[in-house]
Structures are given as C-alpha cells and as structure tokens.
Structure 1
Amino acid sequence: MKRRTARERALQALFQIDVSNTDSASAIEHVLEGESGDDYLTRLVLGVVEQKDEIDQLIKGNLEKWSIDRLATVDRNLIRIAVFELKFNENEVPANVILDEAIEIAKIYGDDQSSRFINGVLSKVKEQLGNK
C-alpha cells in the first residue's frame, strides 16, 4: 500500500475512533475492507492513539482562536497524523513531504478552508519541533 493510501485510511480509521469510540483494531480492519494489513497504516493509527495526549498538546499550543474540540473531525485527525509523523517518525519522511501530504488529503476530505488551515497549524508545529 502506498503511504498516501495508508494516510488516507489512517484518517478514516481515526475518524471512526473519534466519532464512535471504535477500538483501533476494529477501525483498521474496517478501513482495510478485506485487504491485507499495512504496517504504515497500523503504525499511524496506533501511534496517534497511543500518543494522543502529547500530540493534542502540541496542536493546542499552535492553534490561534480555536480549541481542539472545535476543529472539524477530519481536520483534527489529519493534523494528528501529521504531528505524529513529524514528532515520532523523525527522519523517516521529510517534514515538507508530511505537510504536503496532509494538505493534499485535506483538499480531498476536508472543506474549502481545510488545506490552508492545516498548513498554518502544521507549519507552526514543524517550526516548534525544529524539523527541516
């Protein structure tokens, strides 16, 4: 599975977990739709779930005039995935690629403002973390 596809499916799984309190394994299984598992997808979903508090603190510190609870569910989870990749998958994927992927996925799954908003938040997180 391509990493873009893994990110999109991770977004779908995290959306399910966020909205309906589904457990991680069930959410991953559901988005795979009978396909074989994918290590990157699993790492993203489990990583975001396990590191959610730390990820959310980073996000909260870089939101202006917003609370994390007010964010659209798609935007919130897309930002979480990208922050997880920036903070916990250091050097595996270049920071600019992570931001570009999040912005492109936001154009597909978010609303008209999502990609710009996500770019702004992630740029601040990237700078705070010192990623290049």
Structure 2
Amino acid sequence: MKRRLAREKAFQALFQIDNSEIDVEEAIEHVVEDSVHDAFLDQLVHGVTSCQEELDEWIGSHLVNWSFSRLPKVEKTALRMAAYEIKFAEDVPSQVAINEAVELAKTFGEEESGKFVNGVLSKMV
C-alpha cells in the first residue's frame, strides 16, 4: 500500500476511534479491504493513539484564538497525524507530513480546512 493511501486509511481509522467506542484494531479492520495490514498504517494509528495526550498538548500550544477542544474533528485528526509524523517518524520529512495533512483536511473537511491545518503545522516546525 502506498503511503498516501495508508495515511488516508489511518485518518479514517483515527476518526472512527475519536468519534465512537471502537477500539484500535477494530477501527483498522473497518478501513482495510483485505486482511493484510500495512505497517505504516498500523504505525500511524497505534502511534497517534498512544501519544494522543502529548500530541494534543503540542498542537494546542500552537493554536491562536482557538482551544484544542473546539477544533472540528477532521482538523483535529489531520493535525494529530501530522504532529505524530513530525515528532516521531524520522523517515518522514516535516514538509511531507504537512502536505499530506493539508490534503487530508481538504478531502474530508470544509473548504478552509486545508488552510487552517497548514497554518497550525507551519507554526509547529
């Protein structure tokens, strides 16, 4: 699975986890078509969920005129994924993580979601 698709599937799994009582493995099962798991997808989902509190604090410290709890769920999920990649995925350049998060926000969010995500992440690197 290409990384872009893995990120999209990870986004969908993380969104499910954040919005329902589903556990990590069940969320991953919902988004993969076959029984073969992608290592990068698993790394993102497990990494974001295990570091979520730390990521939320880091993101929150870079928000201007927003509180983290008020963020729309699409933006929150995209920011968490990118923050995880920037902070912990040594093989992913920060700019790639930002670009991918912006694309996810544009795909799943509102018209201005991509710009918002880009602005927050740009302050974080």
Give your verdict on TM over 0.5.
yes
- Separation in 2 of the partners of 1:122 and 1:114? 12
1:77 aligned counterpart, secondary structure: helix
Q: Which residue of 1 aligns with 2:33?
A: 33
User: 1:1-132 residue pairs with structure 2 within 5 A?
Assistant: 1-90=1-90, 92-126=91-125
> Alpha-carbon deviation of 1:21?
2.4
- How well do the aligned residues superpose, as a CA RMSD in angstroms? 0.9
> Alpha-carbon deviation of 1:34?
2.8
TM-score (norm 1): 0.91
2:66 aligned counterpart, secondary structure: coil
TM-score (norm 2): 0.96
- Separation in 1 of the partners of 2:21 and 2:11? 14
Moved over 4 A (4+): none
- Separation in 1 of the partners of 2:35 and 2:83? 27
Q: 1:15-74: per-residue Cα shift (whole Å, max 9, x none)?
A: 110000210000001100335110000000000000001100100100111111211111
- Separation in 2 of the partners of 1:36 and 1:111? 32
**Gap regions ≥5 residues in structure 1:** 127-132
Kindly tell me the number of residue pairs found equivalent between the two proteins: 125
**Gap regions ≥5 residues in structure 2:** none
